[in-house]
Structure 1
């Protein structure tokens, strides 16, 4: 069986579940309704962004091995930018018609930055909308994702990646992971988080490369690793649940974006379990979702929807409605925009 074929693996389902984790957690967080209950402790332990980054590392390394540099670049553009351009335009128009922004230098800088690789940038005048930070705050991860594409492409070209041995690729990727861990650890130990320098570093691939790199290692060593992951999800899930019970029982703090030894080890087990799920339960994703992939669209719209609810003073009891609207916007994005462009991507 070809486990890399879309109909045989569960990448789309995992991405959707990771998206739901982010959506649910953000909806309560923006409303300041996160508490110390078991539900939020549990959902915190499945950070969707870490899962996204790991899967991306795997799929990007795989895509590069099967593509020319030109087709790889075009595929990456078609996957991200068509849906993103519509999303940014919708965000801009919504803020304009609600009179939160005007057409001025700030709005021009915002619009241009969102269309490049600086999606984390937001002028002060835009922070009046919603939770008081970014009108569409989840887009910072799109910036990191795009930076990963550029870093991977440039590094691969300079090093002649396709011609290199598995050993060489493992050494380079492991070295970059270690460097990223060090950058992450040292910046959190010696920099103030509210400084511009820290914020720029936090929004860079150098801070977040670790789990992209781990995903790359999964692809590089796929032939050797598949024996311990394919069809082994029940074993990995048992290990993960035991660890989660220990974390909750002993009230251990797990950090998502700040390097810390116990947190890193836990997230590593989570990623291992995620990849085992991807390559177990053959065809589950295809049976549930078919070829539909609404995770990207849902993800890039959910913060905008939640912030709109906050501005309109919608009662917190209607928080689940933000989930429904975000999912439907994700579906519309897939049907009207992404699906057509991904068909062009497939032809490459």
Structure 2
């Protein structure tokens, strides 16, 4: 029997919420999204979405770590999930950018065209723009502003990967140490001063905050949260605590990282009728929606002077369609190789390449 849950639906919802929030700045609207208006800017849909992504990722990736045979097997699965879809969207961006290109410099003579793929596929020190592309857009020239979270996501994968060398008890101590260190860092530095620094273009504030949500999810994965006897009650009371804390207090990062994982993972582990079948029926569209949404919205704003509602209404279904294509044409097909030995595949590729070269000669 195939285990069903709500995680695919939650990730789909989070990806759509990112597009909803982005519709405001990308259309030139100076206001917040609906949640921002209600909370007076304390929360926005994109904030919940990004943090929710990291909580779910920490929970599921830790379970993947436990199932991995070794360090190479773990990273092989992470690479297959992350890079093929990203590589395709970056290539499509370069190929289609001439249709929105305005510059006296010939497109193929623009050096930034060639660095766009290389800089962004490496995840760190991203290149957000190509001079001449979207320069006249109301938001600015950023082609895909959503990519900034992927380098933080991959950084979490790297930190988590070192736990594969330890037994269960030491795994727990490692997770707890990372989580407590993050709390200490947040409490004594970010909440009291404006102190921050950069690590290879990673902002320490974002790295710590996103890391807390990620490893909060990982801790629940370690304790097999789905098997908790009173999980429904935990979800109910954590939901109440979230409502009360967000209603009466502002910017309580510490309370969020302590409470949100219990609520989001608890909802994700449920198998709600219809909702739990989203992934089975349509596939896991969230990653594709996330990486295509921003450039789609920028393209729509280049050709049309949309207001925030028009941009939102049009960009969501288009991004969902491209997310569907990305999953079924690229991501799903590549993931068939997740159980393969990457070293054997590399050897096979090299052997075939050499054989082809000999035949050509």
| Residue of 319, 331, 347 corresponding to 1:326 | 319
1:98 aligns with 100
Equivalent-residue separation in structure 1 for 2:216 and 2:314 (angstroms)? 35
What secondary structure is seen at the aligned counterpart in 2 of 1:189?
Answer: coil
Equivalent-residue separation in structure 2 for 1:299 and 1:344 (angstroms)? 23
Equivalent-residue separation in structure 1 for 2:11 and 2:220 (angstroms)? 17
1:338 aligns with 331
CA contact (8 A) 1:302 1:326 kept: yes
Q: Which moved more, 1:266-275 or 1:88-97?
A: 266-275
Cα RMSD over matched residues?
Answer: 3.3
1:171 aligns with 176
Q: Over residues 246-273 of structure 1, what are the superposed CA-to-partner deviations in whole Å (9 max), with x where a residue is unaligned?
A: 24xxxx544xxxxxxx243145433321
Equivalent positions of 1:248-327 (< 5 A) are: 252-254=249-251, 262-266=252-256, 268-282=258-272, 284-290=274-280, 292-316=283-307, 317-319=309-311, 320-327=313-320
1:63 aligns with 64
Larger-gyration structure (1/2): 2
Equivalent-residue separation in structure 1 for 2:90 and 2:215 (angstroms)? 29
Please report the TM-score for the alignment, with normalisation by the length of structure 1: 0.80
Residues 186 and 253 of structure 1: CA distance in aligned 2, closer, same or farther (over 3 Å): closer
| Residue of 7, 15, 18 corresponding to 2:14 | 18
Cα displacement (A) at 1:278: 1.1
Q: Which moved more, 1:113-122 or 1:131-140?
A: 113-122
Cα displacement (A) at 1:243: 4.2
CA contact (8 A) 1:65 1:162 kept: no
Equivalent-residue separation in structure 1 for 2:209 and 2:189 (angstroms)? 5
Residues 23 and 183 of structure 1: CA distance in aligned 2, closer, same or farther (over 3 Å): farther
What secondary structure is seen at the aligned counterpart in 2 of 1:47?
Answer: helix
Structure 2 portions without partners, runs of 5+: 342-361
Structure 1 portions without partners, runs of 5+: 255-261
CA contact (8 A) 1:54 1:214 kept: yes
What secondary structure is seen at the aligned counterpart in 1 of 2:128?
Answer: coil
Equivalent-residue separation in structure 2 for 1:23 and 1:31 (angstroms)? 12
CA contact (8 A) 2:172 2:219 kept: no
Number of positions where the alignment pairs a residue of Structure 1 with one of Structure 2? 326
Equivalent-residue separation in structure 2 for 1:289 and 1:56 (angstroms)? 16
